[in-house]
């Protein structure tokens, strides 16, 4: 949630979009004993001091402590080091990562600002849960101020292999920052292993067989002056995987709300699933022309190389056109280069080319929510996706059918669930992703219903949702084939596959994820328990 000034001068709360907000929002709302410290989303230079005071009050009344960042700080810390250095590198897009000493300095300074903000709120023995790659220095900054804090840190994105991580000029500093925590969490075991390998490689620290990293809080022993760690000050950092879940019932219920159903029915009608068939979707005039030309075999021999899509369709399918079912493919993503949108669009295009029976019958609803528009790579990506959607639509559109419905604005949760519910197939093919909640939300919206999931092997969710059609998202051919199979799956088979995955998702919710992380944190940071684990 962030506050924004409205045209009438008032201030309104706006829901943040993205995995972190989706995952932790419900826990935060239902647990009144916690406080959220975060960037205010507001540039203080654009407001009078009394407006800032009002906003601060408003935030605090919602148990939030705002950290106000200047435009330079946002550029250096958020757009810069966080999203132009760490984000691409951690997603294996090393060629996109920029290494600029200036943004690193701002990243350090802003982490200090967060440490100050948290310091005004905590007492010894309190628990602080630091979220994500924007605040990798914060655990150590807090540890040096409050040695008795319980500190956890969770990474929502992948943690890269040592070969990739060691490219980061300030990598060792980031690791030292993280080792201020008692518990360091990732979505998957693979990311834990990467992290431990990197710690061993860059910091040469001792890692116990159970995965704990042994540390000393003090760099040297004051009694002897030696650098040998004093066992009195030994502390352990536990590394563990906590695969994040979703609020399953929220998505299941929301998909059944009247607004979501209106959206679902609207999509089904627009794609012809509910009412029309391919033949009747042509206007009478064009259909007559099509039929006359198809009947004239001589015409075909001369014009086959320049046939209109309607003609190709009629020729290829003939009377069987009516037998091909209408289907809807959906996807929901932030417009981010890690989500693999261009590759996915190429696979969809290939599917239309290789399986012409789907032309006129499969409509793709692509919700691509704008994000990080102040980073150049994201603006370029938007242009690439615009162009590809235009290309496919230009190449395959019929008079009354458009292959891709492309929405580039953020929608409220009910229409998003309506889109999920309308999808016979969800195409979720990130090139790299920590978890990917969209795959899970789709399955929740198809509770007790058919619907097929095509899922990238490169996301954490693929480790859990093994009954989906798992594909390599870089392999356009494989995605095309998986999409075709998913479109052809029988309802019984789809339900059978979904049931196993849904059972898991129903149990492993976002709320349980929070509870498990926090109880593990309590356990590993309790000196008595920690000793027993030695």
Q: Site residues (CB under 6 A) for ligand GDG?
A: 17-20, 22-23, 156-157, 244, 332, 334, 367, 369, 410-413, 416, 433-438, 441
Q: Rounded to whole angstroms, how far apart are CA atoms 479 and 343?
A: 9
**In the complex with ligand GDG, which residue's Cβ is closer, 367 or 443?**
367
**In the complex with ligand GDG, which residue's Cβ is closer, 90 or 358?**
90
**In the complex with ligand GDG, which residue's Cβ is closer, 84 or 310?**
84
The residue with its CB nearest to ligand GDG is 19
Residues 6+ away with beta carbon under 8 Å from 316:
356, 357
Three-state DSSP class for 131?
strand
Q: Rounded to whole angstroms, how far apart are CA atoms 334 and 372?
A: 9
Determine which helix (DSSP H) or strand (DSSP E) holds 253, and give its type and residue range.
Answer: helix 248-255
Q: Rounded to whole angstroms, how far apart are CA atoms 376 and 135?
A: 23
Smallest distance, ligand GDG to C-beta of residue 451, A: 16
**In the complex with ligand GDG, which residue's Cβ is closer, 122 or 332?**
332
Q: Rounded to whole angstroms, how far apart are CA atoms 196 and 209?
A: 11
**In the complex with ligand GDG, which residue's Cβ is closer, 156 or 446?**
156
Using alpha carbons, list the distances in angstroms from residue 346 to 68, 407, 483: 42, 18, 12
The answer to whether the CB of 440 falls within 8 A of the CB of 417 is: no
Determine which helix (DSSP H) or strand (DSSP E) holds 286, and give its type and residue range.
Answer: helix 284-295
**In the complex with ligand GDG, which residue's Cβ is closer, 339 or 346?**
339
Smallest distance, ligand GDG to C-beta of residue 138, A: 18
Smallest distance, ligand GDG to C-beta of residue 385, A: 14
Smallest distance, ligand GDG to C-beta of residue 88, A: 12
Residues 6+ away with beta carbon under 8 Å from 146:
119, 122, 124, 126
Smallest distance, ligand GDG to C-beta of residue 352, A: 25
**In the complex with ligand GDG, which residue's Cβ is closer, 168 or 367?**
367
Smallest distance, ligand GDG to C-beta of residue 111, A: 20
Smallest distance, ligand GDG to C-beta of residue 144, A: 28
DSSP 375-420: SHHHHHHHHHHHHHHHHHHHHH-BTTB-SEEEE-S---HHHHHHHH
């Amino acid at each position: 949630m962030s506050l924004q000034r409205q045209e009438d001068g008032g201030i309104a709360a706006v829901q943040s979009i993205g995995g972190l907000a989706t995952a932790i929002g419900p826990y935060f709302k239902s647990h009144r004993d916690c406080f959220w410290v975060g960037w205010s989303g507001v540039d203080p230079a654009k407001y009078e001091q009394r407006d800032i005071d009002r906003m601060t009050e408003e935030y605090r009344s919602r148990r939030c402590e705002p950290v106000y960042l200047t435009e330079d700080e946002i550029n250096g810390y958020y757009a810069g080091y966080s999203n132009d250095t760490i984000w691409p590198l951690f997603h294996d897009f090393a060629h996109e990562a920029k290494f600029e000493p200036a943004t690193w300095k701002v990243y350090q300074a802003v982490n200090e600002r967060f440490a100050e903000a948290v310091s005004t709120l905590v007492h010894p023995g309190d628990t602080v849960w630091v979220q994500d790659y924007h605040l990798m220095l914060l655990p150590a900054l807090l540890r040096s101020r409050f040695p008795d804090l319980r500190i956890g840190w969770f990474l929502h994105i992948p943690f890269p292999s040592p070969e990739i991580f060691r490219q980061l000029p300030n990598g060792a500093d980031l690791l030292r920052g993280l080792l201020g925590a008692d518990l360091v969490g990732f979505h998957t075991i693979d990311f834990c292993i990467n992290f431990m390998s990197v710690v061993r490689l860059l910091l040469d620290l001792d890692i116990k067989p159970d995965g704990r990293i042994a540390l000393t809080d003090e760099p040297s022993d004051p009694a002897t002056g030696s650098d040998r760690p004093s066992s009195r000050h030994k502390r352990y950092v536990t590394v563990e995987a906590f695969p994040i879940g979703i609020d399953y019932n929220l998505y299941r219920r929301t998909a059944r709300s009247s607004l979501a159903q209106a959206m679902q029915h609207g999509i089904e009608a627009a794609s012809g699933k509910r009412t029309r068939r391919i033949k009747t979707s042509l206007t009478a005039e064009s259909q007559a022309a099509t039929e006359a030309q198809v009947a004239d075999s001589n015409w075909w021999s001369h014009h086959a190389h320049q046939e209109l899509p309607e003609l190709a369709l009629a020729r290829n399918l003939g009377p069987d056109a009516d037998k091909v079912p209408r289907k809807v493919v959906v996807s929901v993503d932030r417009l981010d280069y890690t989500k693999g949108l261009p590759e996915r669009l190429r696979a969809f295009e290939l599917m239309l080319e290789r399986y012409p029976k789907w032309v006129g019958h499969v409509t793709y609803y692509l919700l691509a929510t704008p994000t990080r528009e102040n980073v150049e790579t994201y603006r370029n990506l938007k242009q690439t996706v615009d162009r590809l959607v235009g290309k496919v639509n230009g190449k395959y559109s019929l008079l009354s059918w458009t292959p891709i419905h492309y929405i580039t604005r953020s929608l409220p949760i009910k229409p998003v669930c309506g889109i999920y519910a309308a999808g016979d197939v969800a195409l979720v093919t990130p090139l790299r992703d920590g978890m990917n909640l969209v795959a899970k939300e789709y399955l929740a919206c198809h509770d007790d219903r058919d619907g097929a999931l095509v899922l990238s092997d490169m996301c954490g969710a693929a480790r859990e949702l093994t009954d989906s059609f798992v594909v390599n998202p870089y392999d356009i051919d494989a995605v095309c084939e998986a999409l075709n199979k998913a479109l052809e799956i029988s309802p019984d088979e789809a339900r059978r596959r979904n049931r196993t995955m849904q059972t898991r998702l129903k149990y492993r919710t976002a709320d349980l994820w929070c509870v498990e992380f926090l109880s593990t944190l309590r356990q590993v940071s309790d000196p008595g328990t920690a000793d027993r684990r030695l």
